[in-house]
Structure 1
Amino acid sequence: MKKNLLTILFLGLVFGLNAQQLEQLNRLQETYPNANRIRVNQEEVITLEIVDGEIKVDQTTIEEELYLSKSATYNSKQSINYSSFFHLKQIEAKNTNWINGKPQSVKVEDFKVKDDLESSFYDDNKTVNFIYPNLEKGSKTYLKYSYDIKNPRFLSSFYFGSYLPITNSKLKLIVDNGIELSFKSFNLEGLDIKFEKEKKRKQTIYTWTSSSVPDYKFEENSPNGRTILPHVIPVITSFTVDGKTTKLADSVDDLYKWYFSLTEEVRSEKPSPELVSTVKEITKNCTSDYEKVSAIYEWVQRNIKYIAFEYALGGFVPRFANDVFAKKYGDCKDNSSLLYAMLKIAGLKGYFTWIGTRDLPYSYSDLPTPLSDNHMILTWKNGANTYFLDATGRYANLMQPTSFIQGKEALIGIDSNEFLIETVPLLPATSNAIVDKSSVTLNGNNLEGSSNAIVTGFQKVNCFYGLENMTTEEKTLSYFNSLLEKGNNSFLISKFQVTNEFDYYEPFEIAYDFEIKNAVNHYGNETYVNLNLNQDLYKFATKRNRKNALEFDYLEKKQFQTEFIIPEEYKIDYLPSNFALDNEFFNSSIAYEVENGKIKYTHQFELKKIIIPAESLKEYNDNLNKVNKAFQEVIVLVED
């Protein structure tokens, strides 16, 4: 009887768990009908202790996920990363499936370590790869891993939201007394996040908890996820041992002093005779400081291959200029080191500069830690003008910062105590332009013509990057057919000629002859011609149901001028009205003019905002649709 009773109790427990699991599965499917998986629990515990006069940081993370659809198997392969700063101490993974009404857990035993190496990026990051076996609808996974964080400046962000729903989150910090912290929060508005602080005799415990955070939709051409995902970043501002207080990240001044200390050795390096000789040769015909800096900058861009090396503090310390010069490769810090040395040889002063790309939405005043920047450049000042030299971006001239640092704060190191924070300017649309002038004639149903396109700014830089891979004339022709496409898919360039290819300062010019087949329609004695040949506003368009802001790489201008030669046997029966639209997002115009047997058509589009906020997308799309509607207008010709 006792044995039978235990069996009944066990079966009741199993069936109870099964019913509970099914109830949770059904409830979550109803709550999140479009989700394939749910993170049912995530916890992170960070322990900060003072050991031998230093801060010891341990971080343990737990993630549990429930799979709601048959696509679960696509998430079988998982990985986590670690590095010299984040030493992996422990990893545990398992998944639970329900088989014949019983839970069966399988522990992952096979973890494979792989170096994270790419063709242009080498670092000490390693990836631990593993596979959850036999994932299916209703499966639940469990992952636990722990880090020993070697530098207390690198406490990471904790995200309460993600691109999948999260039903429960907890962040806990257990902090020794004597360690002072601040907490930077981002995008927490509208979320039910509870914060508690518990003071104990030797420690203080900080805890954040949240529940039922919906998923955030990933969409192309959106600002980085940090701009929308709710997260908290703990910052160790200082710590006190035996009455002595050490500042870590209490202000930008603390961050800068640490950064400056990492560049002191390279600043004092004596340049090699070969480097000195090269600088003299590069600048021998220069008549001004501006010309010298421009010549040096272009030489580094053309001759030093970008390969990122991020190993421990090597990710923050520039290498010696002589080594970079000799090896002809380096990362952003190495390029800056070489530029610094070369300007110094030329009798000029450059300044090491730390900066975050547009992927990082933080300011130095908000977050005075290494999380605010991920890039290094060199700054040169000439009177009231500031020039931002980023040699990782080929073809950008001295007047043109790389596109991905536009609008970002730059931390400019003047000397051991002085620094400046300046904002990299956002280049106006007129600086990044394509102006295409065409002359076309009618040949049956086809349009034939010749054009001359002038490309400047970031649009020119992108052209040059594309042309680098065009190793034959056939490939180059195909590239220009895509870049300059007019009318429809039957557009074909027959020949082309380029001027100023790969030139840093002069506009890039492309002269070409083309044909557009079936570009004209004939009905009875009427002929319909649409001179809106460059209807490429699709790159600016977005879906109606978009949730996130729309981000562009840069502001730009497009101008297309077409002269249509009216055949002698035709006269104009209908000419569309001119169109103009000017709003906070862009301005656009279409104009028609008849003169000397020709119809002169001009279309102009100028983007005004690099980011269209989510709340403005409807208005933005409505305005863009007005332009697209104007594109549909056609000229009607009749036989004379």
Structure 2
Amino acid sequence: MINTHTNAQDLSSWQQKYPGVSEITTDYSEHYQISINKNNQLVITQDNYEESMIITDKGTGFSAVESIVFSDLFRIKSYEAYTLNNVNGRQKKTEVAHIADKKLDRQSVFDSDVKLKTFNFANLTTGSKKVLKYEMEFIDPFLLHRFMFATSAVNEKRTLKISYPETVKIDYKLFNIDKNNLEIQTETKKGITTITFQKQNPVVVKQDSEAAGIMYEAPHLHFWISEYQTKNQTHPVLGSIDKLYAYYHTFISKINQTENQELKNFTLDLIKDCKTNEEKVKTIFKWVQKNIKYVAFESGYEGFIPREAALVYERKFGDCKDMASIITEMAKYANVPNVNFTWIGTRELPYTYQQLPAPAIDNHMIATYINNNELIYLDATNATVPFGLPSSFIQGKEALIAQGNSYIISLVPEVKSNLNTIHDKIELSLIDKKIVGKGTFDANGLAAAQYRSIIGDNLLKRKDFAFALLEKGNNKFKLIDFKEIDFDNSEKPYSIDYNFELDNYLVNSGNETYLNLTLDKPYQNDSFEPTRSQTFDHEFLQKKSYQVVLEIPSGHSVTYLPESTTFSNDLLAYQFSYSQENSKVYLNYDVEVKQTLIKPKQFALWNESLKKLKENYLETIIIKQHEKN
């Protein structure tokens, strides 16, 4: 329905309510209508209404373009778009100037049928309304969308309606909001029940840097069809993990049914020198990592169904499901049991299978090798992760592991911080009021995988990356030379031997020199701003260790060494140890992140922990020059 009562008084009140905002959404609604057709199939359509208003031409600016996302599984049935302007007390409608379809451009997706239908609105000025109405059709009743009660734009109200006959049973779950904060109404007319959820003045969600994902804090709702009845027959859909797995199993039950002799012969030759099943799986996994290029597909059911292993082997590229397909099939040829397809959601999705037994819980697929009671997660989409470690973005998530017609659920562990260490050992000399040093940098586990992934095969940027990784002290740091060790072997630490100089760092006063030995200060700028509202993701647990050895110049002595200290709480731990032996001063210090996801209620503790850490970063040693006789 078009709201025509807005006048100058309403415009003025909105300008006062939202200072600095140029455009607000005055009304947004989605209405799902579920029915059963004569072929006893579910029919699901969604009527959408979006109404926004330009309240000023200053401030953040407004958009003349709106769009609808659609695909082969989520089709547009009809649409209407226009501008409304108040002319002499009446609403004048202006049709959109241009409508176009374009591919949704996402660099991470190689092939996708997801598109945008864009609308260029005309005759826009202060007080104008943009109205977009459209109807969508869901081809698959298992793939319904979540509803957000908050977005990044200002909304006056957001409404979700679900209408369904008595032969259909639905269920829903609210996240980050309870029923008391929503207007919820249920009514039944002529056998059709409609449940309405409405949120007035929803909060605006600000995107914070390095956030775990919007779903951790944003209020939203997932709903699903549990079952429906036709002629006394009950058809299960969703609502339990058993039902979800039954749906998933249809995607893998018919692939890799025929033995491919070429892939089998290659596999047997690849693993011919392996003595154990674990060696076989490791060899297969490493080959897939190195030789199958990861590309993402999101075209229709191609986004859910793995391709035949033989095709993946022939093409030498594939998405996460394709990599799982070839790993499981090669393991079969190698006669290794219990290497299975596994569904999992990445860390941006904060759900458990018990909370959300629906496809929205998963956006990734890997393989899992079960050896006695040990589970090894095989995610070849990460070409640099060592065998035996999960990729960082699935740590702490539940995995749904196929076991034929049954399944098991396991929790992917977080890799311990002592396996993801960074160790930097430097030896320093003071020459002509300048620091001259040499060092050895070692990264292990997921830290090494991260660096190798960032660097990739970009030889031209190698020194730039090494400089950024090794820079210390101040902006006068000069990397003289460096040598990488075992960069291409992800089973070993990534190491760098290097030489450097650091000028304008020492502080001299009379015959005393003040030197801060903490040339590296991890996390010192990572305090959370008071405005931050989203969970922070460290990606993986990590321990950064540093050893600094200073050669005291001849004719000098150390007159002050800071005290050693230790600190530990749930989020952070550190220790600093100063000592002197003959003509050398030693500082050993390490900083350990003990929790990957830092929630808003923990921000104050994190900031207080960093404050204490930074006090130690300010400590200096004092070196005094002896008077000459």
Q: TM-score, normalised by structure 2?
A: 0.95
Q: Which residue of 2 aligns with 1:445?
A: 433
Query: Using the alignment, how far apart are the partners of 1:569 and 1:42 within structure 2?
Result: 77
Confirm or deny that 1:284 pairs with 2:272: yes
**Alignment CA distance shift 1:446-1:158 (3 Å):** same
Q: Which residue of 2 aligns with 1:297?
A: 285
Aligned-partner residue type, residue 619 of structure 2: E
Q: Which residue of 2 aligns with 1:62?
A: 49
Which residue of 566, 591, 612 corresponds with 2:552? Answer: 566
Query: Using the alignment, how far apart are the partners of 2:88 and 2:557 within structure 1?
Result: 81
SS in 1 for 2:616: helix
Q: Which residue of 2 aligns with 1:6?
A: none
Aligned-partner residue type, residue 308 of structure 2: F
**Alignment CA distance shift 1:183-1:476 (3 Å):** same
CA drift at 1:97? 4.5
CA drift at 1:30? 3.2
CA drift at 1:510? 0.8
Q: Which residue of 1 aligns with 2:67?
A: 79
* 1:314-325 to 2 correspondences below 5 Å: 314-325=302-313
Confirm or deny that 1:171 pairs with 2:160: yes
Q: How many residues align?
A: 620
Confirm or deny that 1:542 pairs with 2:528: yes
Query: Using the alignment, how far apart are the partners of 1:341 and 1:382 within structure 2?
Result: 17
Query: Using the alignment, how far apart are the partners of 1:172 and 1:153 within structure 2?
Result: 18
Q: Which residue of 2 aligns with 1:198?
A: 187
Q: Which residue of 2 aligns with 1:617?
A: 603
Which residue of 298, 317, 335 corresponds with 1:329? Answer: 317
Query: Using the alignment, how far apart are the partners of 2:321 and 2:521 within structure 1?
Result: 42
Q: Which residue of 2 aligns with 1:248?
A: 237
* 1:401-550 to 2 correspondences below 5 Å: 401-416=390-405, 418-472=406-460, 475-538=461-524, 540-550=526-536
CA contact (8 A) 1:73 1:136 kept: no
**Alignment CA distance shift 1:130-1:199 (3 Å):** closer
Query: Using the alignment, how far apart are the partners of 1:57 and 1:283 within structure 2?
Result: 50
SS in 2 for 1:543: coil
Which residue of 25, 29, 42 corresponds with 1:43? Answer: 29
Confirm or deny that 1:210 pairs with 2:235: no
CA contact (8 A) 1:555 1:607 kept: yes
* 1:219-258 to 2 correspondences below 5 Å: 219-258=208-247
CA drift at 1:539? 5.9
CA drift at 1:185? 1.0
Q: Which residue of 2 aligns with 1:632?
A: 618
Q: TM-score, normalised by structure 1?
A: 0.93
Query: Using the alignment, how far apart are the partners of 2:550 and 2:458 within structure 1?
Result: 32
CA drift at 1:276? 1.8
CA drift at 1:68? 3.6
SS in 2 for 1:626: helix
Query: Using the alignment, how far apart are the partners of 2:34 and 2:384 within structure 1?
Result: 46
SS in 2 for 1:92: strand
CA drift at 1:116? 2.7
CA contact (8 A) 1:239 1:247 kept: yes
* 1:339-418 to 2 correspondences below 5 Å: 339-349=327-337, 350-416=339-405, 418=406
Alpha-carbon displacement from aligned partner over 1:363-409 (angstroms, at most 9, x marks no partner) = 21222111110111111111110011111111112211111111111
SS in 1 for 2:201: strand
CA drift at 1:73? 4.3
CA drift at 1:248? 0.5
Query: Using the alignment, how far apart are the partners of 1:74 and 1:88 within structure 2?
Result: 26
CA contact (8 A) 2:172 2:224 kept: yes
Query: Using the alignment, how far apart are the partners of 1:149 and 1:79 within structure 2?
Result: 18
Aligned-partner residue type, residue 512 of structure 1: Y
Q: Mark the runs of 5 or more structure 2 residues left unpaired by the alignment.
A: none
Q: Which residue of 1 aligns with 2:13?
A: 27
CA contact (8 A) 1:160 1:166 kept: no
SS in 2 for 1:602: strand
Higher mean C-alpha deviation, range 105-114 or range 32-41: 32-41
Query: Using the alignment, how far apart are the partners of 1:21 and 1:482 within structure 2?
Result: 56
Which residue of 589, 595, 614 corresponds with 2:575? Answer: 589
Confirm or deny that 1:112 pairs with 2:100: yes
Aligned-partner residue type, residue 249 of structure 2: F
Query: Using the alignment, how far apart are the partners of 1:41 and 1:191 within structure 2?
Result: 21
**Alignment CA distance shift 1:73-1:177 (3 Å):** same
SS in 1 for 2:459: coil
SS in 2 for 1:425: coil
Alpha-carbon displacement from aligned partner over 1:476-497 (angstroms, at most 9, x marks no partner) = 1121010111111221211111
Alpha-carbon displacement from aligned partner over 1:331-369 (angstroms, at most 9, x marks no partner) = 111111100110001001211111111111222122211
CA contact (8 A) 2:344 2:363 kept: yes
Query: Using the alignment, how far apart are the partners of 2:236 and 2:5 within structure 1?
Result: 55
Q: Name the one with the larger helix percent.
A: 1
CA drift at 1:214? 2.5
CA drift at 1:98? 5.6
CA drift at 1:229? 1.5
**Alignment CA distance shift 1:470-1:519 (3 Å):** farther
SS in 1 for 2:455: helix
Query: Using the alignment, how far apart are the partners of 2:304 and 2:171 within structure 1?
Result: 24
Q: Which residue of 2 aligns with 1:14?
A: none
Query: Using the alignment, how far apart are the partners of 1:566 and 1:98 within structure 2?
Result: 80
CA drift at 1:191? 5.9
Alpha-carbon displacement from aligned partner over 1:102-143 (angstroms, at most 9, x marks no partner) = 765432141111123545521111111232335444332222
**Alignment CA distance shift 1:53-1:582 (3 Å):** same
CA contact (8 A) 2:36 2:42 kept: yes
CA contact (8 A) 1:114 1:128 kept: yes
Aligned-partner residue type, residue 572 of structure 2: F
CA contact (8 A) 1:431 1:456 kept: yes
**Alignment CA distance shift 1:257-1:18 (3 Å):** closer
SS in 2 for 1:435: strand
Query: Using the alignment, how far apart are the partners of 2:589 and 2:449 within structure 1?
Result: 23
* 1:78-97 to 2 correspondences below 5 Å: 78-97=66-85
CA contact (8 A) 1:72 1:136 kept: no
Alpha-carbon displacement from aligned partner over 1:538-564 (angstroms, at most 9, x marks no partner) = 464322332232221111110111001
Sequence identity of aligned pairs in percent? 30
SS in 2 for 1:152: coil
CA drift at 1:531? 0.6
CA drift at 1:26? 3.0
Query: Using the alignment, how far apart are the partners of 1:539 and 1:524 within structure 2?
Result: 32
Query: Using the alignment, how far apart are the partners of 1:36 and 1:73 within structure 2?
Result: 5
SS in 1 for 2:156: strand
Higher mean C-alpha deviation, range 498-507 or range 532-541: 532-541
Alpha-carbon displacement from aligned partner over 1:87-106 (angstroms, at most 9, x marks no partner) = 01122222335679876543
SS in 2 for 1:460: helix
Alpha-carbon displacement from aligned partner over 1:53-86 (angstroms, at most 9, x marks no partner) = 0000000111112234414644223322100110
